[in-house]
Structure formats: structure tokens, C-alpha cells
Structure 1
Amino acid sequence: MKLALIGFGTVGRGAYDILKDRKEVLEKTVGPVEIAYVVASDRSRNTLELEIDEPVVTAKEYDEVLAEVDCIAEATGAMDMAYDYMRRALEKGVGVVTANKACVSAHYEELVALSEKTGAPFLFEAAVGGGIPVLTPLRALCLQNDILDVKGILNGTCNYLLNAMFKDGADYKNTLALCQELGYAEQDPTDDVEGYDTRRKLHLLIEMAFGHVDGDAIPTRGIAQINQSVVAYLKANDKKVKLVASAKPVDGGIEAVVEPVLLDGANSLAILPDAINQVNVKGSWVGDLAFTGPGAGKEPTGNAVVADIVAAATKSAMPLMKRGDVKLMPIRGRYFVAKELEGDFVDRVDEGFTYTKSVARDELLKQLDNDTFFARIED
């Protein structure tokens, strides 16, 4: 198989290094996987030509590249440019592998339809959970099971940050700065801490497990409102907070939400360390499964990209279930609120913190401003 690697940042370089290291093994088992081209920006082309042996081209030569390769591995991290690369490849029957969650989430239906029309593989394992193999087994699970629940921690930045605050009493702003230094968070961390990155990943899980929804309509709240007074109170009560994505079928559609969740200290998600991610899936026949591992990074994400390249080369990917639209239903739950509230929905108030009875999430939000921290209480 001839491959074009598009983008040579963290993920692209990780995939490149693995393909070079495992070249002989791959050749003996699945056949030659040749990196025929690396597509780079005009700015980085000259530098890359000095670093690697493969031909380095730019977007201007992309049509010629598509005429020669069987598959592209898109690793630019861009939006519009990445979409253009993927769409044009699929239209020409060239397989697409990508780690680009934002682009896949935004254009999921169109890109899947193009893949089905031309028969070209469209694989995006690395877009959810980095190095965790979850989308590949989920494809198979959906054929054999009704999916009853999907839940997990899908953002390493938030998990690292919350762990530091609860374990070491770390300051939110200082820890976020450390996450940026370590490469867990972007210089603009909004997507991470406000939950948008997690929402895109949950959207892809929903598309595979339940059906089509508007990803931007999934209710979302991040962790930017948490502070040390909240952490100190919860630690004294053996509780932790995690940013959790969840979706499950209910009468009339599905409940889906991204928000902080209050967990017992021994809960499997509560004890998840550092920047590790975990996705829990419940199937009607298989029962409860957990997929755990590094959610980001050069080698783990590169590994997921290479796994999809191998699946494309061997045509071994399981088919995607054909699903229609599903409705997002209102969320209800019990909530912990870092504010003293009054009303019929209040269960009790303790040291200025409110515990609610089961309440419609939308109704609760009417009582709160954007700076008030709250977390759903996990039953």
C-alpha cells in the first residue's frame, strides 16, 4: 500500500516513526506499507527534506499525490484544510485515516457517506481516546449488541488538572499552566477546560453507538469554575470530581451530556491517574467493558493512526452501522452546587454547598450564573 502522510507535527511524526520502526514486521504480515509522500506546509518543506528520505510535497501537488496513493493519513490538526484533504481523497476512492476529532465531528455524515459511496476506508480511531483502542471494538460491539451506556473521561488535560488539585491541593491556574508546559493543553486551553474537546469525542461515540445528533447541541459544562474551597470540602467527604462524558438511550431518544460529576473516591473513574483516559461501554450481550490508556501523546496517538493504516491496508475494518437521527432528551439528575440555594428542588445545604433532589438540568441552570461550579451526583 502506498501512503501519503499529511502533516508532520506530534501525531504525524509519531505515526512516521512507528511505520519506519515496524517496516519489516508490517511487510511480512500485511505487505509493504510505503510512505510515498509527506505533504507539508511551504514553510516546513525545506526543513523536512533535510530530515527524512521520503519525497516532501505541498498542498499544490495534492492532486498528483492522490493519483498515486492508496491511502492518506491526515495529521494536520486543522479544520477546513483537513476537511478538504479528506473529502477530495474519499471522492477519488483513496482511503482516509485521521486523528482529527474536530473535523470528523463537524463533517461526520458527509465523510461517512462518501466512504460508503466510493468504498474507500474512512478510519478515525485516534480521534477518541488517543492511544486507547475503543472505536475499533465499538464497531464490532454495535453489530452484536444494543449499546446501553457509554461513559468516560475523554480529556487528559482535565484529568491531570483535577488529579493535581485533589491529590496535592494544587492551584487551578498554576496547574493549567503546567499542563500547557507538558503539552497536555494548548496555549488556548478553552476547548479542554470548557468541555468542547470532550464533547466532540462523545459526539463520535454517539454517532457510532446510537445515531446522528447535532454535536454542538450536546449539553456541555467544563471545569473552569472549580476552586480550592470546593476541592477542600469534597476531599473532607471522600469525594472527587471528574469531567465525564456520558450517553445512554432513554424513551424518545438519548440522554447525552458533558459535565463535572461527583464520584466516590474509590470509583474506577475517580482513581484514574494523571492524563489517562477511560471509556466504559455497556452492551446488551457483552455487559460492562472498560477501555483505559493514554489519551494523547506522540507515540500513543501515532500508534492508533498506524493501527488504522493497517486496517485500511488489509481491508479489515468492521462496517459502521447505518443509523438514523436520534433526539437529545432533557437531562435530569441530582446535583452538588457550590452555592447556597433555596427551593423545592433543594435536598440539603451543608457549609454553604447545596445538594439537590432530582431536578431538570435546564431548570437548575436558571438558578445559577456562569461562574458557579456544579457537578452531577453519580448514583
Structure 2
Amino acid sequence: MTPDIAPKASRNGTRTIATDVLIIGGGVTGAGVMRDLALRGLHTLLIDKRDLCAGASGGNHGLLHSGARYVASDPHSARECRQENELLKRLAPQCIEDTGGLFVAVDGDDPGFAEEFPVLCTKAAITCKELTPAEARGLEPKLSDRLVKAFRVPDATVDPFRLALENVAHARTLNGSVYLPHTEVLRFEIDRSEIRAAVCRDTRTGGLVKIVAGQYVNAGGAWAMNIAGLAGCRDVNLLYSKGTLLVSHDRLTRHVINRLRLPGDGDILVPGGTVSVLGTTSVRTDRLEQVAPTIEEIDINVREGSAMIPALAHARYIRAFSRVRPLLQSSSGDDREATRGFALIDHTSQGLTNFCTITGGKLTTFRLMAEKAADLVAARL
């Protein structure tokens, strides 16, 4: 298809735009798909009903995982995080602060987990160096004096907003691909096995726009199941987990600080610029819009975080926020046990040949998710 990005108005006032690929969802994954396809010479149109990183991509710790957090609960995701961590540090160093990370256990934490941790890191090929409590406190003086075990890993911090913006800007530079914010999908026009157009609405003006593409990519994050449903697809099955985080007035540490235990509430402190981000809780929810922190969630984060960094109990916090994370369905009732992996769904079982969904995953694995989706789309065109 020859892209025709100049809008054409119909008699009923609906604009029409043509492109090779429509990408729905302006998180880092959608932005990554946009850039990946542009590198392959395909023109894309990226849309979001709000703006870039308005969902979970912009409402997280900003942690570039080494993979160490998942070595016990999700070894596959741990290996993916390790590989993507190494790649992104080379590909986008301007978006990353290579802080390093510490995993710390305090008196009362499970000694068995602490002993197994370096073994599991080795299996996932994650660099892991044991430190004495004195060495760890030498690096981070605010660590608890109840520290009993510490390991250093290659965690880092990443700016998801800059990451998304740079992906979009690169795609635009490569071939004129376009990003349209405040553009919400209302319905799809489907003929036999293909989507012919996506009918969208400008959420600011109410004006309608019809987007005609050869392929359609659903990168809607927590909204991916709803977007797939608009196309009549029932093969996207997600759980929704609400996470609440706190932002401190000051940067309290130089390194990312993780609790040396299975993932739980309030067990990560991530420095970012002049502040630190503490979190997160994990609460099952059915709501995708207007989620807000509760006092209980804030108290849990502070209490749990203070076991690692006692200063958190008395720190000044300037903001609390919540976002909803999409998790792939599992049989477990514990969202912490749900895989942090991702799924690429081609929807052929639903009778469509030009629609796919990329969902789940993490900020750290966005590039890999984008690559897999782009591989499928490019093979179809």
C-alpha cells in the first residue's frame, strides 16, 4: 500500500487516512513497533486515545531489570530481562542511568532464598556479586543496620518517556511515519477475514477519522483485551493488577535497592534524577480508568520499604500514583505468581489475517516485544 497520510474528508465529515500499518497504543511497546517497522521500510500510523506513555509505560518505577527479580518466580522472564538490559544499554544509553542494583536481606528474611539467589542468577547468566553487609552499607549508607545479606546486580534506571519519544521521532525521520495522540478506536470495519478500516474518534474535537491499513497491531497494554474485542476476538485473556507507587522529595540512594526475597509489596526503591520511586503493591482490579492510591497501599509500601531503608519511614513524599498492569491469565490466584512474559497473538483462530495483539511483558522487554510483532507484520505484508 502506498501511504496516504493527507486526510481525505468524506461527505459525512469523516476523514480517511491510509497507511501500511496501524498501531494502536502509544506505550513504549507501540512506539517500539513503530520504529521497528519503519526500519524495515514500512509506513506506520501510531495512535493513542490519550498520549504517549499515558498508561503503565509512564506509571512505573523506571527500572531496567537485570532479571534478578524473577530468577526464582519466572526464570524465562529473568533471562529475557537480562538480554534486553544488555541490549538497551548499548542501543539507548542516553535514556538510561547505569546505577547498578543491590538485593538486600534483613534479619527475619528467608535465609534459604538468600542462599539460593546467586545460584539462580548464575543459571540465568545474570552477573551477581556477593557483598558483606559492611560493603553494601559503604555503597549505600542508608541501608538498614539489620542487613544480613547483599548482592550486587546490573540493574539500571530508564526514562520511559524519552524512550518512547525517541522511538517515535526516529520512525518519523526514517520514512515519515505519523503519531496521532487523542485518537480512540471506536470500531473496526471487517470484510470476511480482514479488517478494512478502523473508525476512530478525536477525543478532543469528537471528529471521526477512518484509518485504512494493510495490517493492524494492537499494543493497547491493559486495554488490549477490550481493543481485541472490538474486532470480535476473544482470544486475549488478561488479568489486571493495580500497582501503587510513591515518589520521594529527595534521591535517597545511588543504586536500585531490591528486597532479597520473592517479589512482594514495597520491595523496590529506584532512584531517578533527583527523586526516588518506592513500590509497588499488587491488587487485583477490574477497573482500567481512574485508579488511585489508597492510604492502606501507601502505608504498606512505606512499611515494607523501611525494612530495607529505615529513612523511608520519615521521608517526605511528593506524589503517589497508581497504574494498571496487564498480566497474562494463569491458574494462580496470586498476581505475583503470574508470568511477566508476553504473548503475541495472531488472531487467525478468530478468522482474521491482518490483525495481531502484543501484550503482557515489561518495560525492560519492550524492544523484544516490538521485534516479535514486527516480524509477524512484515511477513504478512
Name the TM tier (shorter chain): under 0.3
Higher helix share: 1
Quick check: which one's strand share is greater? 2
Bigger relative contact order, structure 1 or 2 (CA pairs below 8 A, ≥6 apart): 2
User: What's the TM-score once normalised by structure 2's chain length?
Assistant: 0.25
